[in-house]
Amino acid sequence: MAAVLFIAVPRVAAAPPVPTVYQVGEELTYNVRFSFIDLGQIKITTLRQVTGDGYRGYFTRANIASYKSIPFVSAEAIFESTVDSGSFSRAFLGRSREGDDWSFARYTFQYDRGIGLLELGPRDTLITRRDTMALTGNVQDGLSVFFWAREYLFSGKVLTAPCVISEKQTRATIDFRTEQESVEIDAVDYPIDTQHFIGSGDFVGFYGLTGAFEGWFSNDAARVPIMAKMQVFIGNVTIELMEYKRTGWTPPRGKD
């Protein structure tokens, strides 16, 4: 009988899926819950592709609103970000209301000059402050950081993103040494395969958003945020995907 030679082949870890984070027409709607109380919704939309001076990017929008039935919460905001295809901010516009007070902010980042231009006021037709901020590199705004986190989900590193939030230079740090987990949400009738990570921000954002957070993003090329837990001024809230519109995407099935 002829001898049979067995050769041991080392197991090679599967490469992470090639990202397809940006898709024009994507709409992701989230419910924001405090304990057992639904507070409001966040809808994030990728509206169109844009071109600028030497770059290509995407025009994105976040609509945030508290539910009218909640007596102790009254807030709404519209954030618009031009996100470079390299996943950093080119420009940001924010309009927000907390209680009866409205505020407006526009940031324009001129990286070739190393500066950010800021315009602030109660509304876009009444600018009460103009300022210039020195920049040492690419930065994120309060919306573009959402896409940055998706882009680097499978990096396997601890990364820090410089941010400009509430007219201050701050940073967000995320530990992308993720763990695969199955999570259940009301919008999908099976467990979803996700990558879980933790992070923190040294800023105070809309509705008192600050401090430590954690997220669960879909374990696939789209890297859709499925759920997050964050700290706001009333306490810890859970942000859960409730509706989605993304061509060709179905939440990946996790373990039952």
pLDDT tens-digit series, residues 44-97: 999 999 998 889 999 999 999 988 876 666 778 999 999 999 999 999 999 988
Model confidence band, residue 5 (pLDDT cutoffs 50, 70, 90): very low
Across 133-151, average pLDDT: 95
Residue 221 has pLDDT above 90, yes or no: yes
Q: Over the chain, what is the mean pLDDT?
A: 88
Model confidence band, residue 20 (pLDDT cutoffs 50, 70, 90): confident
CA distance 75 to 225: 23
Across 157-166, average pLDDT: 94
Q: What is the reported pLDDT for 18? A: 52
Q: Any idea where the domains of the chain sit in the sequence? A: 27-245
Residue 14 has pLDDT above 90, yes or no: no
Q: Name the one residue in this structure whose structure tokens are 């099935």.
A: 253
Q: What is the reported pLDDT for 8? A: 44
Q: Which helix (H) or strand (E) holds 146?
A: helix 144-151
Q: What is the reported pLDDT for 76? A: 87
Rg of the chain (C-alpha set): 20
CA distance 217 to 240: 11
Model confidence band, residue 3 (pLDDT cutoffs 50, 70, 90): very low
234-180-61 Cα angle (round to 5): 50
Q: What is the pTM of this model?
A: 0.87
Higher pLDDT, 226 or 231: 226
Residue 196 has pLDDT above 70, yes or no: yes
